[in-house]
Amino acid sequence: MSRQREDSAEGCRSMASDDQQRADESGNPQMRAILERSAAAWESRAKLLDRLEASSAARAQASSEAANAVNPLAVDDSDHDRSSPN
């Protein structure tokens, strides 16, 4: 399953750029206004997706750091020779 263009910030920015270009080329004022609003909406979605991605990355980093934190009550048996019975 491939990712849709509207599912990434980059794709949304591309769609915003496309709509803005079409708006700039439009001779119809009503169509130009519609396309400009569409471009603004795609840009807003791109910013939202950027924030969500950054938030998700920060949570993943925090989770990883928490999982790797040293537990002060844990017993360190790294010096213990596992081949000897004692």
Q: Encode pLDDT of 1-21 as tens digits.
A: 677 988 999 999 999 999 999
| 45 C-beta neighbours (distance < 10 Å), count | 19
> Where along the chain do its domains lie?
5-62
More confident of the two residues 76 and 65 = 65
- The two tokens of residue 73 are 């009550």
Residue 49 phi, psi (nearest 5): -65, -35
Q: Are 59 and 32 in contact (CB under 8 A)?
A: no
Work out the average pLDDT over 16-38: 98
Quick check: helix, strand or coil at residue 40? helix
